[in-house]
Amino acid sequence: MTRHPILPSSSLSRRSVLRLLGAFPAAAAAATVVSGASRARAAATGQLNIYSWPDYFSTESLAAYARKTGVTPNIATYDSDDTLFAKLNSPAGAGFDIVIPGSSWIKQLAARGLLQEIDHARLNLGSLDPNLLNRGYDPGNKYSIPKDWGLLGVVYDPQAVGGEIKTWEDFFKAGEKPDVSGKIRLSDSGWETIGPALWLEGKDWNTASVAEIRAAGARLKTFAKHVKSFSGLDANALANGSIVLAQTNQAKARAAIGLNPALKWVVPGPTSELWVDNYAIVKNAPNLDQAYDFLAYQLQPDVQLAETQYIGFPAALAGLRDRIGADVKNADLIFGGKDLDFKALTSFVVNPQTVGTYSQVQAEIQAAAG
């Protein structure tokens, strides 16, 4: 689920550092204290409290919004959907207006009564890509509006791999080759590592039983000896050849290909993941009108374009590809390649019955690699 782009120029980009600082408990605790205090004052004046991934809004759009309305959104950050869930699920989660949950957690957040239904009369979703609306994780977009999206795919060095990768079977086969073994990066998310093995057996990762997940995980545990890393992927590691085959998202792949054009990106068959990060409104949002006003602002095509350029993942605007200028390098990669088939993509939905199994098997896979 490491989905955030690192700027191609350096491994120690501002974003990656911020993200790590966000992951650091002390920093998180400090941020909580500060934001908690400011949130308490929020409701009185025109304010807006957003809880989001770090650096997930264009600073220019935010500044423009502040000029227009006089409201500068307060943004607190988290480093994983699990953290978002845990916080909203606790008293510390009070006072937020807008959160940006991933598609996988919307159902659980809604089931817990932590989100409120979106009043579609107040927002026009007509400009958004129909491929990203009304998906299985939130039918009718009752609780969520797509913000931006990404894929689980593979970036690889064709020379080391010795051919083309088209399916997840090719991926696993390639990993066993002597030039590739030990230079592989897998995701740190259980469903993203085990999912490919399930798909190859024709199973759905959302309906697979505990036994089926364990069986598919066994394949990964055998494969683990070839894996070098499960941590966040550094585009430089791909560029300098210390990693030659990696599960990752399209933005990270684009950064790596920008550094080393010989690398290739593929969304392997038969199935792969589409994740969508969404705008959602918190149950007892203290600044509801401001939240709707901000969302309407964010959904404007110009703002969507600015967001895409800033965060490196495509906003949900329909026809966005045609608005990207010819001067943007590898622009198709922002959208996961030229001929991406949305029908072959599936979104994970966290299920309390199986999510513990995914997590535990992932730990076992990582341990097997040690």
Binding other proteins (rule: CB under 8 A), the pick from 20, 43, 64, 318 is: 20
Q: Is 367 in the site for other proteins (CB under 8 A)?
A: yes
User: Looking at beta carbons only, is 20 or 64 nearer to other proteins?
Assistant: 20
What's the closest the beta carbon of residue 23 comes to other proteins, in angstroms? 8
Among residues 29, 75, 34, 69, which one has the least CA distance to residue 56? 75
Distant-in-sequence, close-in-space partners of 53: CB < 8 Å, separation ≥ 6: 4, 77, 78, 79, 100, 277
Q: Is 205 in the site for other proteins (CB under 8 A)?
A: no
What's the closest the beta carbon of residue 232 comes to other proteins, in angstroms? 8
**Residue 278, CA atoms < 13 Å, CB-side half-sphere:** 31
Q: x/- site string to other proteins, residues 319 to 348, per CB under 8 A?
A: ------------------------------
Angle, CA of 239, 240 and 242, to the nearest 5°: 110
Q: x/- site string to other proteins, residues 48 to 87, per CB under 8 A?
A: --------------------------------x-xx-xx-
Stretch that binds other proteins, among 222-230, 254-262, 296-304, 308-316 (CB under 8 A): 222-230
What's the closest the beta carbon of residue 20 comes to other proteins, in angstroms? 5
Binding other proteins (rule: CB under 8 A), the pick from 112, 120, 122, 323 is: 112
Rg of the chain in Å (alpha carbons):
20
Binding other proteins (rule: CB under 8 A), the pick from 188, 212, 277, 307 is: 188
Binding other proteins (rule: CB under 8 A), the pick from 7, 21, 340, 344 is: 21
Stretch that binds other proteins, among 12-20, 124-132, 193-201, 336-344 (CB under 8 A): 12-20
Contact by Cβ (8 Å): 202, 216: no
**Residue 291, CA atoms < 13 Å, CB-side half-sphere:** 26
Binding other proteins (rule: CB under 8 A), the pick from 237, 255, 257, 303 is: 237
Stretch that binds other proteins, among 20-28, 38-46, 163-171, 262-270 (CB under 8 A): 20-28
What's the closest the beta carbon of residue 298 comes to other proteins, in angstroms? 28
Distant-in-sequence, close-in-space partners of 363: CB < 8 Å, separation ≥ 6: none
What's the closest the beta carbon of residue 137 comes to other proteins, in angstroms? 17
Q: x/- site string to other proteins, residues 147 to 176, per CB under 8 A?
A: ------------------------------
What span, in angstroms and rounded, lies between the C-alpha atoms of 88 and 51? 10
In the chain, beta strands by DSSP E = 49-52, 74-77, 98-99, 145-151, 153-156, 184-185, 227-229, 245-248, 264-266, 272-281, 345-346
What's the closest the beta carbon of residue 230 comes to other proteins, in angstroms? 4
What's the closest the beta carbon of residue 177 comes to other proteins, in angstroms? 17
Among residues 164, 156, 176, which one has the least CA distance to residue 241? 156
Contact by Cβ (8 Å): 112, 279: no
Q: Measured in whole angstroms, how far is the alpha carbon of residue 91 from the centre of its chain?
A: 26
Contact by Cβ (8 Å): 217, 194: yes
What span, in angstroms and rounded, lies between the C-alpha atoms of 255 and 194? 25
The residue type of 70 is: G
Binding other proteins (rule: CB under 8 A), the pick from 50, 110, 227, 244 is: 227
What's the closest the beta carbon of residue 154 comes to other proteins, in angstroms? 18
User: Looking at beta carbons only, is 23 or 318 nearer to other proteins?
Assistant: 23
What span, in angstroms and rounded, lies between the C-alpha atoms of 5 and 12? 12
What's the closest the beta carbon of residue 54 comes to other proteins, in angstroms? 14
Neighbours of 341 (CB within 10 A): 11
Binding site for other proteins (CB under 8 A): 11-12, 17, 20-21, 24, 80, 82-83, 85-86, 89, 108, 112, 185, 188, 190, 227-231, 234, 236-237, 240-242, 352, 355-356, 358-360, 362-364, 366-367, 369-370
